Copies of this chain bind each other. A is one copy, B any other.
Amino acid sequence: MTARVQWTDYDSATCSIARTLELVGDRWSLLLLRDLFNGVHRFDDLRGHVGVSRDVLTKRLAGLVDAGLVERRAYRVEGERGRASYHLTGAGKDLQPVLVALMAWGDRHLTGDEAPPARLEHVGCGGAVTVALACEEDHPVARRDVRLLPTESARRRTSRVSAASG
């Protein structure tokens, strides 16, 4: 029977969420991106502020560079040695909504009575910035009004799950 398409008929790993998490879904990558957004660009500064070991920092930065989220630049300040620095690419900057959403959630659910440890301000108006669901047609979108529809392109790549369910 060709019943309605089920989410579980599709390979988890094909999903864009899974594929994105393969690049940034570890303990450190998103924190590094956060610091890169906030103007921390040098190896030792990242290490000191984020609190990651040198070893892991090297690997993560290499991974982010491979993934095209970060670029390594050599630069030199007049009269000093050449240095390396790390900067977000356009693709890296496109992850901003993920970070803002994580921050908004933490501000709402983890700060208790205190003021949140930092705020994102809309330059100009001064209002707090968060993220909101938005639809192409610019309607306001409530949480409930979202439906996930797996498409054919995912089905084709399905392996493990389709075999098990057959």
A99 contacts chain B at the CB level, 8 A cutoff: yes
The interface residues of chain B lying within 8 Å CB-to-CB of A137 are 122, 125, 127
A3 contacts chain B at the CB level, 8 A cutoff: no
A45 contacts chain B at the CB level, 8 A cutoff: yes
The interface residues of chain B lying within 8 Å CB-to-CB of A103 are 15-17, 20
In the complex, what residue of chain B is closest to A9 when comparing beta carbons? B49
The interface residues of chain B lying within 8 Å CB-to-CB of A40 are 7-8
A145 contacts chain B at the CB level, 8 A cutoff: yes
Q: What are the interface flags for A92-113 relative to B under an 8 Å C-beta threshold, 1 for contact and 0 otherwise?
A: 0111111111111111111100
Given A145-B124, A161-B48: A98 and B102 interface contact (C-beta under 8 Å): yes
Selected contact of A121 from candidates B31, B45, B124, B149, CB within 8 Å: B149
Given A18-B31, A20-B106: A129 and B146 interface contact (C-beta under 8 Å): yes
